[in-house]
Each structure stands twice: as structure tokens, then as C-alpha cells.
Structure 1
């Protein structure tokens, strides 16, 4: 109970901070917004924005993981503040920095999607959806497209999961065994669940058959 209360409180505080930052941005007080973000991160998470910018999403997640258990509240909070910092970077014309911050925030939200508490002030799935919309004009790295495939699969959005999976398969070093395992998992599900996720059984079977045929062709060439 104590842990859940802590997580809910941290997320609520981050949501309140985001509202304050939005107000500063609307008044064109971008420098004040950045200072607020930096101060908030230091006060609540002993983290500075410049360090958050330098660390990878994996490093940030590990920083807020104890005994193998991620601190979902802290990770969601960092992701939300990074998203706000991205908006400040956009306003200053630094699109590349905004892109990097949004990517990091998206990856952090995906990491804690399965551990999100009910009724929290910030929902990592909703945050991820918003970040995807903000990143729509940008190419996403392969490591993230695979994460998005898994995320969509967990949420029952199988057609979207397939799209992200095929985008990942186009990257160098992608392992087709991962895609085969994806289809095999789906084919164990009832027809109505597959159809509800936008990927009827026939399409899933066709996807698996296409991978098998491609693998056979590769073997013959070898």
C-alpha cells in the first residue's frame, strides 16, 4: 500500500508540474520553464535535466530501479518532464533536441506500461500515444519499433503490432525468429480476439507463411 501511495503521489506531482510548465510555455517564458524542469527533477528525483539528456532511456530506467523492480512513478515522472522539455526545445527551434527527448520519453513510457497503477494522474499508454503523434514526422530507431510492436501486442492492437514488427524487420540485424514467434503467439488466440485487434486469423497465417517462404528461399540460396 505504501509503495502504491508513493507511486500515485509522484505521478500526481509530475502531472501538476506539467501544468505549471505548460503555463510558462504559453506565456513564452521558455527559460523559466527549463529552470522549473531542472529544479523539479533535482528536488524530487535527484536528477538534472542535462544529465537526463546525456543518459540513455535504459540508463534512466536503471537509475530508478531497485533490486530489479522499476520505480514506475519516478520513470513516468521523468518521461513527462522530458516531454515538456522537448516542447521547450521545439519553441527554441532545436528540433533535434526535441526529437531526442521525445524518443527517450516514449521509450520510458513503454517500459512501465505493464506496471502502470490504475487511476494515476498520468497514464504511460496515453503518454506514449501523444508522443507518437508528436513524432509522426520523424523516423524511429529499430530498437523502438520493436518495443512498439510488443506494446501494441500487449494492448491487443495486433494489426499495428504487425506494422511495427515489419518496420523493425527492415533494419539491419533483425531476427526473423522474433517475427515467427509473434505470429505463433497470435495464432493461439481465439478468432474474435484476432479480429478485434485488426488482424484476422487468415492474415496472421498469411504473415507466418510469408516468413516461412522467405526463410526457405534464403536456405536454398545458401
Structure 2
């Protein structure tokens, strides 16, 4: 009960801060809006936005480890703050009177943050976060729509593949695994073995489940054979 009340208080505080940031963003007070989010992050987690955005996603996730367990509900709160930060940068890019370079820089900063928030949402959902706490599934779909023209990092494609599998959308999971294989981002991870494990898990399902997931058994076998070749 105490843990639940503590989380709810944090959510209420975050909702209030995001509301203030939204008002400031609409008034084009972007620096003040960013400061509002940064101050909340410091109070709740002892971090700041600069730190979260400068570190690799895996290192940030480890910062939410407590007694050997990643506190995924806290992680998705951080994702929400970074998502809101992304929208502030996107708004800055639309301000009249700035140079083309400043506009491009703001767009890039916003996109980078949006993708990082997506990674944290997906990781949190894949590891047991409460999906209703911040409506994370809806936020994932919204961010995917906003970033559909861009290439996601391989590590994020991996999380997306696991998430789609969890949803029973096996055809989309397969697509994400193959994008992860194609993209790669220097991580010392053998995605090929993980894709093989994905197909092996699907092999154990009933034909009806595979059909509903958009990946009939023959396509599972074809994919596994192609991977082996």
C-alpha cells in the first residue's frame, strides 16, 4: 500500500509539472519549461535531463536499479519527462526568426529524445511496468507514428520486437527483429541467436495463435530456415 501511495504521489507531482511545462511551452518560454522538467527529475530521482540524455540508454536503465531490480514504473516516469522534453525542442524548432541551423539542431534534439523515451517505455513494459500508470502503450504507438520515417537504433528495435511478441503481433515482431539485424549499432549482442530463439518460441504455439498473430507456421519455418542459411 505504501509503495502504491508513493507512486501515485510521484505521478501527481509529475502531472502537475508537465502541465506547467506545457503552459510555458505554449507561451514559447522553452528554457523555463525545460527547467520545470529538470527540477522535477532532480527531486524525484536525483538526476537531471542532461545526464539522462548524455548516457547510453542501457546505463540510464541501470541507474533505476534498486536492490538488484530495475524499478520499471520509475523508469517509465523518466520516459514521460524525456518525451515532454522532446516536444519542447520540437516547439522550439517552429519558432520564427531562428536560423536554419538552430531549427535543425532543435529538431534533432527533439527526435533523439523522442527515440530515447520510446526505448525506456518499451523496456519498462517488457519488464512488468504497469501499462495503465501513464498510458504507456498508447504513448508507444504515438511515438512510433511520429518516428516512422526514421531508423530506430537496433537496441530499440529489439525491445519493440519483444513488445510486439508480448502483444501477439508476431508478424510485426519479426519485422523488428530483421530491422535490428540490418541496422546494428555497435552493440556486442548476437541478434541472430535472439531471432532464432524468437522463432523457436513461436514453433511451440498453436497454429491458430500464429494465424491470429499474422505469421502462419509455414512462414515461421521459412524464417528460421532463411536465418540458418
1:15-26 → structure 2 map (5 Å cutoff)? 15-26=15-26
Which has the higher mean CA deviation after the structures are superposed, 201-210 or 11-20?
11-20
TM-fit CA distance, 1:118: 5.8
Name the structure 2 match of 1:70: 70
Shift in alpha-carbon separation, 1:200–1:19, aligned structure 2, 3 A: farther
CA contact (8 A) 1:24 1:30 kept: yes
| Bigger RCO of structures 1 and 2 (CA < 8 A, at least 6 apart) | 1
Quick one: distance in 2 between partners of 1:124 and 1:85?
16
Name the structure 2 match of 1:34: 34
Name the structure 1 match of 2:220: 204
Quick one: distance in 2 between partners of 1:116 and 1:12?
18
CA contact (8 A) 2:28 2:92 kept: no
- Runs (4 or more) in structure 1 with deviation over 6 Å come to none
The answer to whether 1:191 aligns with 2:207 is yes
Number of residue pairs aligned between Structure 1 and Structure 2: 212
- Alpha-carbon RMSD: 2.0
State which of 110, 113, 121 in structure 2 corresponds to 1:98: 110
Shift in alpha-carbon separation, 1:15–1:130, aligned structure 2, 3 A: farther
Where does structure 2 lack aligned partners over 5 or more consecutive residues? 94-105
State which of 135, 158, 163 in structure 1 corresponds to 2:170: 158
Q: TM-score, normalised by structure 2?
A: 0.83
TM-fit CA distance, 1:174: 4.9
Name the structure 1 match of 2:129: 116
